[in-house]
Structures are given as structure tokens and as C-alpha cells.
A and B are shown apart, each in its own frame.
Chain A
């Protein structure tokens, strides 16, 4: 009896302990004992952990290093050589953003199922099949050959690992505790993976499948009518008066650039990112109040907590640079020093092309290329799935790249992916950033840029000595006309890219007459640029930016801040007058009239608390839908390829009697007039219903809903419904959650003004320096960011200069 009772209690105790130490299967609950016990659980992640070190001794550094944190927790790192500087940058970024670095690189390497289990195995497989790890390996192998840069990368990685190895389980960031896994050592490959994650975010947009389907279903004439490549109203990044002193070595366009394939049923992978934009510009001294240039940059990315950017100052005998860094990459990506400033926006050129494979045998182990049979290279991918064990997947590689999605049937066609970021970059690619960090003038800037490969960026520049410049930089494939716009024939090597555009012939401009350079993701050049390129380009922000900048004079930094926060939309300015003239006022009820009059006086600004933007957006969407309803029956076959807004507005204003405006299902013949009026009534109905649900008038920011979402989606660690104006077509390009988790928007706003004395710089981003949700520095900048405020940046010559803004100073000594 005694032993029986003992055994029962022993089993209960052990069982209870086991339950509290493990994730309970099929529930979202973390291991409760691990998470709740106050010695190693979440209680340990209170806000003290931001500053737990005063002095540290390290093997990794050779001379003393000082780090001063300012009152927004920006570290100012003062080292006595570049190796130490990179080591400490690695340590500090890991200290504040470890989980973010880990999660992003796990995602990019297809290893999420290791921590989240079976539910993510298909996402992981798709990531590996896209060749993300292959791309990172190719990149790292190139980086390793750089004698100058590789040692700094090694020091950066060592610094990260010095922090990771100092951690006890109680110190792990809270997400590790909730998801029940451990930090693992950082590697050089992870840094390469991080750069490929950026490439995947920024340079993987293409519509090859949809264009191929649309062309074969609609025919050439209709295809060209609906999907012209260039908006004649566009004001390209490189001003139209710039001329080109070189010619395209390719002879005239080839006749048929597309494959025999006339229909592709499925996308190999869904477009993950849409509508990302960014702005940058530099104005010369002739347009500023001070007589010195001002440079501005606001890259638009997914709004996440922690933020994608980490603010830092890096000082060594060879450089003194301030700006934002990516958590996982050495150096500063966007920033300035005493002499120069630079900023990035994304280039929309299509560098991802699909090649149709002509299989030579039913088991799809070999394929035809120029009549010869070539075997695929098989790579076996291994996944250690939590709770399931090891899973394998075989990926076939062709000369073009990986087969991302293999169809089942033995006679079916498959597509191979050719993507520029798969290829090994220039071995000195990383030196782009270290050279920009150290640049003193225009020559240093062009010298730094020559090694940059991908993801391609519009790199704006300004220097204290008065130069402004902008270059569309990256490695671009040399293509025939329309090559890569459609699925290519993978059975002929002649379908391949014809090489690359020499980087010195990439579009660029220095000190243009108009006194400013600017980019907002629009077309790089006017169509007379000698090389063909296609891609995804913005149609409205670039135009408003060029319009406003050309009119500005005696510019101050405050003017530039106002411009970054500008919410005016050219789309509304062009579409609304065309639509409103068609409203039949005799057919409006009282509420309709209120809406109508409100729109008549609207200034096209998407202010946070305004309602007019909602009326316009709902009206325009209804009009777009009613106009293009003739295409609806084909949408399923073609895929999602809506007619662009600029094209719709052009048709509305230039051809209001076009047949597309007629609703084929009704007997009278409608024109833009009837469709505009009918869409107005539909809008009025929708908005009235929304206001009933809302119990009062709507406002733009609540209607749009832009969230800054924690990387795991945990609501308690997110900030929802940001109160700010703006829309994707305005310079303050805040996008709501409509299409994906979380919002998009200006992820770092920077204004750098040169002057007689020291450089004056302002910046802000929607987040905070700390990745710890308990820290007061986790999301402390969001409200000021939403309100359009800026912080003056403490760009120091010495630590002492920080004075009363000093939060904390750490001293690091060599061990």
C-alpha cells in the first residue's frame, strides 16, 4: 500500500513536471513551467536587460572600444580600428535584435518548421525550392574572396557570437521562451541569407505567367491596349534631357521572344510583396536656404516590430558614419558622414525570369537544350521538422536555375527560375557599403557603387562640397525587347540573357540643371534609353515629387520633412475631376449630395482624420471594377493582372466612349458617363453602410488600418491602427493591411543638411531600438513617426560631446 501510494504520487509529480516543461501538443500554449517560473521564464525579460553591461573584456578586440547610448538608445560606437568596430557592431546588434535576426534568416533558409512544426513545412520547401540557400552560398563564396571586406565580416560574425555565447537560458529573448527554442551560433552564411531576404523582398516581382496567359487569351492588340509598358505622363528618375553616349550592342529586337507555351495554369510561387515603394532625393545648394545640399530618404517597407532598421553611429580612424543598419549586415546601409550622405530606393527592373523546360523523358530527370539531352542536378534538401522528424525534398536544378514547382503529369510542362540574385555577385559587393560609409566626395561615391550587384537600388547622393547625384545601380541583364516579360523557351540557349549591361552604362545623373535628383520607384529612364528593361514601376509618387521639388526654392530641412509627410495623391487629382463631371446631380439623394459636395472641394490629401479619401477610393474601386468587368471571365485563367490605374484614368479621360465602358449584360450602350455615375451610387451605398456599422462618420486612418505588427504576429507585441495620413500613391506612402498581415510605409525618414559648419541631420523610424517588448525603447518612436515628427540626430565627434543626452556608456577592453 505504501509503495502503491508513493508510486502514484511519483507518477503524478513527474507527469505534472513533464507537462509544464513541454509544449502541449495541438495547442498554442508554450511550456508553462519554463515560461512562468521567475528564475528563467518571461519574468526575467523585464526592461533591465537593455543595459546590463558596464565594462566587458573580449578576446575579439585588440584595442579599447567605447559605446555611448544616447537618450533614444542609439549606440555610438567609437573603436580604434575597423575590425574592432565590426566586432562591436555585431555584438550590439545581436544584443538588441537577436530574435529578429534569427527568425528572418530561418525564414530565408527554409527552417521555420524546425521551430514551428509541420504547419510550416510547405513554406520551407518553397523557400528552398526558390534556391534561397543556394543564392546565399554563391554570394558568400564571392564575398570570401575579398581580402579587404571578408575579415570585417568575420569580425562582425564573431561579435554576434560573443553575445550569443554569453547568454544563459534566463537571458533569451522572450520569443525564444514562448516558442520554446534556443539561439544558435550566427554564421557568415546567415549574413548572406539576410542579404538574399532583402533581394527576395525587393527584386522578385514579375508577371511572366500572367502576361503569357493574357497575351495568348486576349491577343496582341488587346494586350498592348491594356498593358502598355510606359506611361507617357511619367517623369522618369533620370531627367528626360539626359542623353546617352552609347548604343545597345544587340541588333534589332528578335521576332518572338516568348516560349511556345501559351498558357501556364499556376504561379510557381505567390508574389509575397506588392506595392513596396520608397523615396529619395537630393537638392543642390542653388535651391536651399543655406546654399548647401540637402539629402532625404524614406524607404517604404513592411512595418514590423522590431523595426527592420537599427540606428547606429560607427566611428573609427577611417570613418565616422551615422545611419541605419540592417540587423544581420555589417556597416551602415543608409546614412551620412561629415562629407557625404546617401539614400536608397528600390529599382523595379524585372530580374526574375521563367524558362519552360522541355523534358526529354517521362521521369523528368533530363531535358532538351539545343537538341542535346542534359541531366538535371538533383539537390536533396533536409528539413528537421519539430514534432515530426526529418523530411526530405529533392530539388532539380537546370542550366536556368531550380524547378520551383514540379507538376505531377509526366507530359506536363514545368518552369525553371532564373533570378539574378542567385548568381555570385562581384566579390567586392560588401565594399559598396564600407566605401560609402567612408566616402568624402562624388568620386568616392561612384567608386563605391561600382561593385554593387543586387538588389538593384536608386542611390541618391549629396556632398558637402556641393555635388548631388543619383545612379540606378545594380547588375542588370542585357535583354532583347520584351525578353523576360513572358515565359521563355528553356530548350534553346539563345533564350538566355545576352550578358549584362555594363555598370558604367546604368542610368545615372550628376548635378542636373534643375537642381535636384529624385526617385520614387518610377521608370528609371524615358524610353530612349538604349537598353530594354521591364518591371514594376510606380506611376504617381515620382510625378508629385518632381513637380513639388521643381517649384521649391530656399529649401530648409523643415520643408523637406513636410515633403516626406505629404499626403497628396496625383491619382486622385487626375481621376476625380474626370469622374465627378459625369455625376447626374438630379439623381442624388440627400446623403449622396453631401458626399458629392465633399468631394467637389477635396484637396486630394489623404489626411488621417479626413473622410474624402474614403469616398474617392471606394468610388474609384467601383469604377475600375465596373469598367474592366469584361475581363472578369478571363481572370481565373490569366491570374491576377489588373489594368494599371494610370491606364484606366487615361482611358476615362481620352476615350470615354470606349466599348470597355459598356456593360455587355444590359441593352443600352453605356459610356464612362453612366459607369461613373453608377459607381458613385454604389460608393454612396457602401460608405453609408460602413458609417452605420461604425456608428458615425468614418476617418481615413481607421478605414485604412495600418498596423505595425510583431514578427510573430502576437497582438500584444504589436501596435495597431496607426493614426497617420497617407496612401501608397502619396509621398507619405503608408499602406494599410488590406492585402497582407500588417502595414507598409516609410521605414526610416532621414533628412541630412550640409552647411558651413557641422552636418545637421534628422531621422525617425516607426519602432524603437530594442527588440525586447518590455523595453521602453521597443516602440517609443511610433507615435512621433505617425505625427510626422523628427529627432535631431546626435552625430558625435567624441563620446563626451553627447553630454546630457548620454544614457549609458560601456567600455570594452581587449582580454
Chain B
């Protein structure tokens, strides 16, 4: 439950931050929420990864509707269109989603690790160290 809640909060926070601040504000949002959520490091990585994956991928997919631009951009980037043809748009959506997801996941995990650093020794941290 906490996982789902965190995921939703990250989606809202990242979207809110990106509407008003530069794109990298999503890193800070994920970091802060990763720290506050109280989840384990891996848990916070996965929640933010999924959240940003859904948000960036979903939004990019929405914006790609009826637009010729993704195909043109696929060509700009190393002629991806030659390799992937019609599905280039989805390759770009996937690339966008993965890029954001990885970054968000890393930031959230770092936030979680940071929080744990200032706590007394807890099972969470042992888990991480064993990883």
C-alpha cells in the first residue's frame, strides 16, 4: 500500500515540479520523496522508477498522437527510423520513459540512503548493506 501511495505521490510531485521548474527538478522531487517515504533503498528505487516511467512514457505517448515529429526526431537521432520503421515513435517513447525512470529511481534511492544515514542502525540499512 505504501508502495502504491509513494508511486502516486511521486507522479504528482514530479509532474508539478516539471510544470514550473526546469526538467531536473524531477531529480530533486524524487530525492525528497525517496527520503520521506521511509521505504528501503530498493523499494524507493522501484517506486520512483515505475512512477517516472509511467509519467514520462505516458505523457510522451500522449503528445506523440497525430504528430509527424517523433518520426522526424527518430531520424535526427542516428537514423533510428531506418532500423525501427513505423515503430520508431514507440522506441523514442520507451527511451524517454527509461531515461526518466532510471534517473528518478537513482534519485529516490539516494534520498532513501541519505535518510537512513542519519538514523540509528536499523534493519533497513542492514538490508542495503547486504545488497
Contacts and interface: CB of A to CB of B under 8 A. Distances in A.
A13 B110 contact: yes
A33 B63 contact: no
Contacts of A13: 27, 31, 103, 106-107, 110
A717 B23 CA distance: 25
Contacts of B113: 2, 5-6, 9
A46 B89 CA distance: 13
A37 B72 contact: no
A709 to B, nearest CB: 14
A41 interface: yes
B20 to A, nearest CB: 10
B117 A3 contact: yes
B125 A38 contact: no
A200 to B, nearest CB: 30
Contacts of B129: 1-2, 5
B99 A33 contact: yes
Contact of A42 (B56, B68, B69, B75): B69
Interface string A414-437: 000000000000000000000000
Nearest to A43: B63
A774 B72 contact: yes
A32 B99 CA distance: 9
Interface size class of A (residues with CB under 8 A): 35 or more
Which of A1, A178, A717, A774 neighbours the largest number of chain B CB atoms within 10 Å of its CB? A774
B63 A44 contact: yes
Interface of B: 15, 18-19, 22-24, 26-27, 31, 56, 59-60, 63-70, 72-73, 75-76, 81, 92, 95-96, 99-100, 102-103, 106-107, 109-110, 113-114, 116-117, 125, 128-129
Interface stretch (A14-22, A63-71, A248-256): A14-22
Which of B60, B73, B96 neighbours the largest number of chain A CB atoms within 10 Å of its CB? B73
A37 B69 contact: no
30 contacts: A5-B129, A6-B116, A12-B110, A13-B103, A16-B103, A17-B27, A17-B103, A20-B103, A21-B24, A32-B99, A33-B103, A36-B99, A36-B100, A37-B18, A37-B26, A42-B73, A43-B63, A43-B70, A45-B69, A47-B66, A47-B69, A169-B22, A178-B76, A716-B72, A716-B73, A716-B76, A717-B76, A773-B68, A774-B67, A774-B72
A38 B92 CA distance: 11
B45 to A, nearest CB: 10
Contact of A43 (B22, B27, B59, B66): B59
A646 B72 CA distance: 45
Q: In the A-B complex, list the 9 residue pairs whose CB atoms are closest, starting with the nearest.
A: A774-B69, A716-B75, A39-B18, A46-B67, A38-B59, A43-B63, A37-B23, A9-B110, A716-B72
Binding site of B, secondary structure by majority: helix, strand, loop or mixed?
helix
A40 interface: yes
A462 B64 CA distance: 49
Nearest to A3: B117
B3 to A, nearest CB: 20
B40 to A, nearest CB: 13
A10 interface: yes
B76 A2 contact: no
Contact of B60 (A20, A33, A38): A38
A36 B117 contact: no
B82 to A, nearest CB: 11
Given A39-B15, A773-B69, 13 more contacts: A2-B113, A5-B129, A9-B110, A13-B110, A33-B23, A33-B24, A37-B18, A39-B23, A42-B69, A43-B59, A44-B63, A716-B75, A717-B76
A388 to B, nearest CB: 25
Binding site of A, secondary structure by majority: helix, strand, loop or mixed?
helix
Nearest to B129: A1
Contacts of B96: 36-38, 41, 43
Nearest to A10: B110
Contacts of B95: 36
Contacts of A586: none
B95 to A, nearest CB: 7
Nearest to B55: A38
A659 interface: no
A714 interface: yes
A46 B106 contact: no
B117 A6 contact: yes
A34 interface: yes
Which of B15, B76, B95, B128 neighbours the largest number of chain A CB atoms within 10 Å of its CB? B76
B31 A39 contact: no
A715 interface: yes
Contact of A46 (B63, B81, B128): B63
Which of A12, A17, A21, A43 neighbours the largest number of chain B CB atoms within 10 Å of its CB? A43
Interface in A420-476: none
B109 A9 contact: yes
Interface string A44-66: 11110000000000000000000
Contacts of B116: 2, 6
A13 to B, nearest CB: 5
Contact of A40 (B18, B70, B72): B18
A774 B68 contact: yes
B24 A17 contact: yes
A178 B69 CA distance: 13
A10 B112 CA distance: 11
Given A6-B117, A37-B96, A38-B96, A43 B64 contact: yes
Interface string A632-675: 00000000000000000000000000000000000000000000
Interface in A765-779: 773-774, 776
Nearest to B99: A36
A36 B69 CA distance: 13
Contacts of A42: 69, 73
Contacts of A41: 23, 96
B76 A6 contact: no
A776 B65 CA distance: 14
B72 to A, nearest CB: 4
Nearest to B77: A29
Contacts of B69: 42-43, 45-47, 174, 773-774
Given A37-B96, A43-B59, A774-B67, A9 B117 contact: no
B117 A2 contact: yes
A37 B63 contact: no
A229 B31 CA distance: 75
A20 B67 CA distance: 25
A9 B22 contact: no
A40 B68 contact: no
Nearest to A2: B117
B125 A2 contact: yes
Contacts of B24: 17, 20-21, 33
A675 B113 CA distance: 84
Contacts of B66: 46-47
Contacts of A20: 24, 99, 103
Given A6-B110, A13-B31, A774-B67, A40 B117 contact: no
A40 B114 contact: no
A173 B29 CA distance: 27
A47 B19 CA distance: 20
A711 to B, nearest CB: 14
Given A6-B113, A32-B99, A716-B72, A37 B128 contact: no
Contacts of B23: 21, 33-34, 37, 39-41
Contacts of B106: 9, 12-13, 16
Nearest to B58: A38
B118 to A, nearest CB: 9
Contacts of B73: 42, 716
B103 A717 contact: no
Contacts of A714: 76
Contacts of A33: 23-24, 99, 103
Nearest to A778: B68
Which of B56, B64, B69, B110 neighbours the largest number of chain A CB atoms within 10 Å of its CB? B69
Contact of B63 (A12, A38, A715): A38
A39 B59 contact: yes
A6 to B, nearest CB: 4
